[in-house]
Structure 1
Amino acid sequence: MTDAIIKSYLRLFPLVAVLFLTACATRQEAPRAPVELPGEFTRAGQRDVPDTWWKSFDDRQLDRLVAQALEDNLSLRASYQRLRQARAVADRQGAALFPSLDATATAERQQTDTTDTDIFSAGLSASYEVDLWGRVQSLSEAESLRASATLADFQAAAISLSGEIANTWFQLVEQRAQLALAESQLETNENVLTVIESRFAMGQNNSADVLRQRQLVSASRERLSNIEGETGVLQHQLAVLLGRSPGQGDLPEDDTLPALPPLPETGVPAELVQRRPDLQQAWRVVQAADRDLAAAISNRFPRFSIEASISSQANDAGNLFDNWLATLAGNLVVPLVDGGERRAEVRRSEAVLEELVQEYGQAVLVAIREVEDALVREQQQRRRLQSLNDQSRLADTTYRQLRNQYLNGAVSYIDVLTALQEKQDLQRTILSTRQQLLTTRVALYRALAGSIDSVKTPENDET
């Protein structure tokens, strides 16, 4: 008898070996991004970029606004709930790696015309799928990777929100500075109008000069009104980003743009790929698709599960546990004919994986481009701001000289008016350019930023 059993096992050995070799084939090589990274960026500074990058501006009001937004912004809170959902799905899928155990208990009374019969029963049943080919493990890993991708997506949303806060705040501060400048320019233009009207009354000017100056005063008042409207809109935008109703709560009243910090250390593109949450998210999605493909391949192989149960039944509850019935069963399911359904699913999973690999490569290229674009724009805007400051000094000198010459009757008023308009236009343009330069630096920080540790994550969730 023993020899017969041994011979039976020996006959099964080739089949077992083939099955295990086939199982090894389900493990896929890790996908690689289809891009070649440059060795370094075109420019780099000396100061490291902190995760809380907005603190580089040394603006206490901005620090307070970003902290409030990371706590109260409703879109970020919704993103956090998506993260909790993803973690729950991963836990649910991971439960398939362990046996399931159910308990049952029933009490039944059967009545006839002559007798009443009580039936009591109780039992335990357990089931477990033996993960021969790694299908269950692959599905669990896929959901865990998707949860990690959602965490990275949450971090990317926090970085995006902090960038929106910084840009909106700088725009608001610039509009307030423009408002103060517009009020000063209106006062200047009204004073000049008083001088022109006095000279006209004495016959030293014609009426056209008065009309031109009045037109400039009217345009200055219109500009003042437009700036006030734009300031209100920006205040509403900032309030919503902070999780408040527009017009609710007090916002800081600062009207001075901060100085531009020194250029940060950009590092190398390979470090950027490891640091940026959006790229981490894209890579985790690729890894999850790779595990989905492994599961689809494994699904073409036989499945083996074990089921066990123990039960007892009696007419009296006191005798319920006297007699037990135990069963143990092994179930083997072998796919034979499915019309090519499983093979088609493997092809689909392969295509999905390749699509995500290409999208990841594109995201890497875009991330590198964002850093390079911000560096180029900042360099160009620095040169522009320097040129505007030089032009402003020259325009101020020109206006003063022409105004003196006009009062002495050496030039016409149209020359003075043109010089005054050019001077005021340059003053407004300088403010706008300073704000654009800060916005460009925000874009650079966002392109280089890593995870923000201060935002709420499941690791510190106490609910």
Structure 2
Amino acid sequence: MIDAITRSHLRLVLLVTVLFLTACATRQEPSRAPVELPAEYTRTGHLAVSDTWWKAFDDRQLDRLVERALDDNLSLRASYQRLRQARAVADRQGAALFPSLDATAGAERQETDNTETDTFSAGLSASYEVDLWGRVQSVSEAESFRASASLADYQAAAVSLSGEIANTWFQLVEQRAQLALAESQLETNNKVLTVIESRFAMGQNSSADVLRQRQLVSASRERLSNIEGEAGVLQHQLAVLLGQSPGQGNLPEDDTLPALPPLPETGVPAELVQRRPDLQQAWRVVQAADRDLAAAISNRFPRFSIEASIRSQANDAGDLFDNWLSTLAGNLVVPLVDGGERRAEVRRSGAVLEELIQEYGQAVIVAVREVEDALAREQQQRRRLQSLNDQGRLADTTYRQLRNQYLNGTVSYIEVLTALKDKQDLQRTILNTRQQLLTTRVALYRALAGSIESAKTPENNEV
């Protein structure tokens, strides 16, 4: 008889051990992204990329705008509230790891025809699920990873916002510079028109020359109107990014584009994975899915919970705590038949995990591509800007020579007009290319940037 009991106990211990090891086997760190990263980028500089990367442009107005946006942008504030929600959910789920304790108190009066009976009660009750297979711990860890993902998402939104501010500001500054250039070109074209009209009055020009120059003056006025309209739209966009209504942005006045900073140090692609908040967000989501899978597997095993209570009841409040009734109970719930529901949930959770791993891998290689694209575009735009500057100098020299020859009567006006148009077109193109070069550098900084730490960053505030 004793041997039979001993064998039964051994079988029970063996079963529990197997189940425990099976549960532990679910708590594996998910594999990293299924991609192979290159050893280095095609180009690199020497200056380290700061989290406050926009300060590399040495533009005080831009610095102020970014700081205002990080404080007041409404979309970023909404992202901050989503982070608070995620952390609250994580705290709520983490509470399941600890026992719950409730206090009760009551008073009751029963009246009959001749008597009144008072009953007073008080007590404490506690309950706790023994996390044998790590299910509760896995669910808690999943929510903690999601909270970390929300923090990374908030930081990625801050990086994106700072990039939008920089791009919009540079576009606005370029439009203001284009406006100043258009006004100068209009003034030049009006002066040339005066000369043409004077020569026409003296019979030295045809009426067609006057009409062509008047057309150029009219086109210059139209360009001024278009630039003013585009500048107004950009001001509205910038005001909204600052969390203000259009027309109330109180934007600084500046029409000079900053110089392009030296090329930053790009580091190696493996560092990018650890630095970029959007990649960290994607990885935290993968880790949360891994914990969800562990919880789904553990959910197939038995659950054991303990409940305890202590209670006192009396007809007089003074006697309430004289007599106590205590109970202690253990509950074991063993899943037997569920039609394959739990097994299907395990398969679903596993497929979700694999999907997120693949998406994470895609995000990693896209991030590397963004750095390489920015490097390639900047190199191409540098060459283009150098070529445009050379063309601009040649166009200016050509125009001056043709203008002198025209005044001496050796060339026709149409050649002067063509040279003037070429020169002015190149001036506008050079300004636009300088802005595009700055925008490309912003893209490079955003591709390399880490998290932005500021007074508003949740790590520096009580959430």
Question: How many residues matched?
Answer: 463
Q: How does 1:149-188 map to 2 (within 5 A)?
A: 149-188=149-188
Q: What is the CA RMSD across the aligned residues, in angstroms?
A: 1.5
Mean alpha-carbon deviation: is it higher for 180-189 or for 242-251?
Answer: 242-251
Number of the residue aligned with 1:212: 212
Number of the residue aligned with 1:379: 379
SS at match of 2:331: strand
In the aligned structure 1, how far is the partner of 2:6 from the partner of 2:344? 40
Residues 26 and 297 in structure 1, CA contact (< 8 A), matched pair in contact too: yes
Number of the residue aligned with 1:427: 427
In the aligned structure 2, how far is the partner of 1:332 from the partner of 1:50? 56
Q: How far off its partner does 1:20 sit?
A: 2.0
Q: How far off its partner does 1:32 sit?
A: 2.0
In the aligned structure 1, how far is the partner of 2:82 from the partner of 2:17? 44
Q: Does 1:21 align with 2:21?
A: yes
Number of the residue aligned with 1:146: 146
Deviations 1:120-156 (A, max 9, x none): 1111100000000000000000000000010001000
In the aligned structure 2, how far is the partner of 1:312 from the partner of 1:181? 90
Q: How far off its partner does 1:458 sit?
A: 3.2
Percent identity, please: 88
Residues 99 and 127 in structure 2, CA contact (< 8 A), matched pair in contact too: yes
Q: Kindly provide the amino acid, as one letter, of the partner of residue 304 in structure 1.
A: F
Normalising by structure 1, report the TM-score.
0.98
Distance 1:345 1:4, change over 3 A: closer
Distance 1:369 1:75, change over 3 A: same
Number of the residue aligned with 1:321: 321
SS at match of 1:300: coil
Residues 272 and 448 in structure 1, CA contact (< 8 A), matched pair in contact too: yes
Q: Kindly provide the amino acid, as one letter, of the partner of residue 330 in structure 2.
A: G
In the aligned structure 2, how far is the partner of 1:336 from the partner of 1:8? 21
Number of the residue aligned with 2:292: 292
Q: Kindly provide the amino acid, as one letter, of the partner of residue 130 in structure 2.
A: V
SS at match of 2:390: helix
SS at match of 2:256: coil
In the aligned structure 2, how far is the partner of 1:11 from the partner of 1:187? 100
Q: How far off its partner does 1:244 sit?
A: 1.2
Number of the residue aligned with 1:363: 363
List gaps (5 residues or longer) in structure 2. Answer: none
Number of the residue aligned with 2:342: 342
In the aligned structure 2, how far is the partner of 1:8 from the partner of 1:427? 93
Q: How does 1:37-48 map to 2 (within 5 A)?
A: 37-48=37-48
Q: Kindly provide the amino acid, as one letter, of the partner of residue 93 in structure 1.
A: Q
SS at match of 2:237: helix
SS at match of 2:255: coil
Number of the residue aligned with 2:332: 332
Deviations 1:24-71 (A, max 9, x none): 232234222110000000000111111100000011111111111111
SS at match of 1:156: helix
Number of the residue aligned with 1:221: 221
In the aligned structure 2, how far is the partner of 1:11 from the partner of 1:198? 115
SS at match of 2:323: coil
Q: How far off its partner does 1:90 sit?
A: 0.5
Number of the residue aligned with 2:394: 394
In the aligned structure 1, how far is the partner of 2:13 from the partner of 2:50? 60
Residues 158 and 455 in structure 1, CA contact (< 8 A), matched pair in contact too: no
Number of the residue aligned with 2:461: 461
Deviations 1:145-173 (A, max 9, x none): 00001000100000000000000110011
In the aligned structure 2, how far is the partner of 1:385 from the partner of 1:184? 22
Q: Kindly provide the amino acid, as one letter, of the partner of residue 94 in structure 1.
A: G
Q: Does 1:62 align with 2:62?
A: yes
Q: How does 1:199-278 map to 2 (within 5 A)?
A: 199-278=199-278
Residues 26 and 133 in structure 1, CA contact (< 8 A), matched pair in contact too: no
Q: How far off its partner does 1:461 sit?
A: 2.0
In the aligned structure 1, how far is the partner of 2:2 from the partner of 2:121? 41
